[in-house]
Amino acid sequence: MSIKIRFFQKEEKLDSRAIGAGVYMVELLKDDEPLCSALPLYIGESVHMIKRCGEHLYDLFQDPRYLGLTSKDLSDEKLNLYFRVLEYLPSNVTEEERKKREKDYIVKHNPITQNPNSDRQIREIQNKVKVVQNAMKKYWKS
């Protein structure tokens, strides 16, 4: 596997906010493309973001289609999967409030594997892969 995983890195260290509750984003970047061309794949919320995203990674490595990728994508050394905190929320924030913040970020960033008005991913696997692969071709040169 050659894809680079940037797991809650901030200034070459672990972003300690990821240990707690909040809203996070998973993005796909390519080394030879500008940072502004990152593809937002998924936005979620959790009481323990780092734990939940570890589960996302496990699911991705079991089946790359989980995030709309292919086995070829996982072998591409120019690709980066970037997990980052969008908003840290104190532990006393309710699940209802976290979900509301998550939906606000989904509307703002429009992650391509999610339905626009929901925290749910596109259900049909082939469709999810098609959406991500088409976005990669459209927004990236190579």
Whole-structure pTM value: 0.93
The C-alpha atoms of residue 115 and residue 57 are separated, in whole angstroms, by 20
Question: Please, which pLDDT band fits residue 121 given cuts at 50, 70 and 90?
Answer: confident
Q: Decide if pLDDT at 36 tops 80.
A: no
User: Do the beta carbons of residue 31 and residue 78 sit within 8 Å?
Assistant: yes
| CB neighbourhood size of 32 (10 A) | 8
pLDDT digits 0-9 by tens, 60-103: 999 999 999 999 999 999 999 999 999 999 989 999 999 999 99
| Residue 92: HSE in the Cβ half-sphere, 13 Å Cα cutoff | 0
pLDDT digits 0-9 by tens, 128-141: 999 999 999 998 87
